[in-house]
Structure 1
Amino acid sequence: MKFATALLLIISYIAVASAHMAMLWPTPRGGFGTKQYNGRIHAFIGYKDNVWKVRFPCGGYAPGPITKMKAGQTINVRFYASGMRASDIKKQPVLTKSTKQFHQARHGGGMCEFSLSYDGGKTFHLIGRYTNTCPDAYFKWPVKIPSNVPSCTHDKCLFVWSWTANILPQYYMNCADIRLEGSKDGKLPSQSIQIVDFKNRKMNVKELGDGIKHRASTGPTKKEISGNLSGNIPKALKKA
């Protein structure tokens, strides 16, 4: 019954919100299944209607459920497409025939970056990147927490997904609240993430993608997965 109710809420919110893609796991602030869920978790930073404005960082949502993580752990990130049914959420990621796929507003793919923030979204430390085909709810996207990062046990610890789309100049961000068990003398990665396409940021930026608007992509490449798990983070694709 709870799933059926949630599904009806999803359908109703899609009608009024700019619904695209969102992080499903780790559960982000305002994500599916949380008390704050309002359907606008899918929308890009800067989206505004008469109910909600999606703000930077983290969409403007308050802290949500906490996910425990450890240094050296692989996080299999999953995405939530607006066209997914409750049954899809339960069984994904499992690729199916093209004629039976749920709708995904992937905007031609683009570049997904994954980062840690220890100060509630003031600074970001890059730990993973997938280019061209990301995001896609039909696949897992492995990201490794570096083995040498310090612990983070206060209320401003975040695992962050950010996406610069291909077809449209739009920038998306979801943040999961975490508690991270790390190294005693740990050090955070020095590289930050790309932040674009809203007020006071570089505008009209698009990333190279696969051009697929609504169907499944080919998913992450073996090379990308290997790089993200080994700490050799794939480089951003250069624009034409």
Structure 2
Amino acid sequence: MSLKRLCTLLAVLSCLSIASAHMQMSWPYPLRSPLDPLTPSELKDYNMISPLDPSGDDYACKGYQYNTPWRPTASYNPGETYNITLAGEATHGGGSCQISLSYDNGVTFKVIKSIIGGCPIALTYGFTIPTTAPSGQALLAWTWFNHEGNREMYMNCAVVDIAGNGRPKSRRAANAALARLPNVYVANLADINSCKTVEMHDVVFPDPGKDVEYGGGMSSAS
């Protein structure tokens, strides 16, 4: 085997090892996902499993919504239930996660599901698209605050299509309903805010929304 082929093989094996040892959203495929067979090789982020920069410079979505061609990887209907799937082994004792939508290119994310405790140990989590969700392309984000380890924020974002729901409503009414949903929780990003999570404590989101799932010994009384 030539030295060039050997180096290439070692690089591929290294990337596979990283992908299997850490956590990332595997479905729907996020922007630049190395798991998406349609992602061009030059755009694949084999470090997808890394947290956001602690400064917050790459919030949201690592900035990929600005420099990556948009291609929806899933289509959803308002009022119906779907799931995200996570991949990897380094769950860091669990933690708390949220699933949220952005219609303004990642400026704001509105929470549609909160998982308090035990996330991402289950690897698959269901969520429901609100019946009032506006139609069109959106960013669907998975965010995670780990239970053990460094105080970090993890975030992967996928481009998705939201279909019209057939109910007579104006775009203004749909946007107003979206605005009433809670904002995604942001912490551990120094230039964004001063919020810090505490190691060995699962985050209890101050406004988790109406769709809440509990795990890791947490409950509505936590």
Do both share a fold (TM > 0.5)? Answer: yes
Preserved CA contact (<8 Å) 2:78 2:130: yes
Q: How many residues align?
A: 183
Shift of 1:174: 0.6
Q: Which of the numbers 11, 14, 18 marks the counterpart of 1:12?
A: 14
Aligned to 2:130: 146
Moved more, 138-147 or 171-180: 138-147
Aligned to 1:94: none
SS at match of 1:12: helix
Aligned to 1:38: 45
Moved more, 196-205 or 66-75: 196-205
Amino acid corresponding to residue 141 of structure 1 in structure 2: Y
Shift of 1:14: 6.1
Shift of 1:64: 4.5
Task: Map Cα deviations across residues 122-161 of structure 1 (whole Å, 9 max, x no partner).
Answer: 001110011211113x5420011111212124xxx21111
The runs of 5 or more residues in structure 2 that have no matched partner are 1-8, 203-207
Q: Which of the numbers 53, 58, 62 marks the counterpart of 2:61?
A: 58
Preserved CA contact (<8 Å) 2:116 2:212: no
Aligned to 1:3: none
> Percent identity, aligned pairs only?
28
The two structures, once aligned, show a CA RMSD in angstroms of 3.3
Shift of 1:9: 6.0
Alignment partners' CA distance in 2, 1:129 and 1:120: 21
Q: Which of the numbers 21, 24, 28 marks the counterpart of 1:22?
A: 24
Aligned to 1:112: 97
Shift of 1:76: 1.2
Q: Which of the numbers 77, 80, 88 marks the counterpart of 1:73?
A: 80
Preserved CA contact (<8 Å) 2:54 2:190: no
Larger radius of gyration: 2
Preserved CA contact (<8 Å) 2:24 2:87: yes
Alignment partners' CA distance in 2, 1:150 and 1:112: 23
Write the mapping of 1:192-211 to structure 2, written as runs, cut at 5 A: 192-200=183-191, 201-202=193-194, 204-206=196-198, 208-209=201-202
TM-score of the superposed pair, with normalisation by structure 1: 0.65
TM-score of the superposed pair, with normalisation by structure 2: 0.70
Alignment partners' CA distance in 1, 2:69 and 2:23: 20
Amino acid corresponding to residue 78 of structure 1 in structure 2: T
Kindly tell me: are residues 113 and 10 of structure 1, through their superposed partners in 2, closer, same or farther at Cα, counting changes over 3 Å?
farther
SS at match of 2:141: strand
Task: Map Cα deviations across residues 199-233 of structure 1 (whole Å, 9 max, x no partner).
Answer: 31335413734xxxxxxxxxxxxxxxxx99xx443
Amino acid corresponding to residue 140 of structure 1 in structure 2: T
Kindly tell me: are residues 163 and 63 of structure 1, through their superposed partners in 2, closer, same or farther at Cα, counting changes over 3 Å?
farther
Preserved CA contact (<8 Å) 1:29 1:177: yes
Alignment partners' CA distance in 2, 1:114 and 1:16: 24
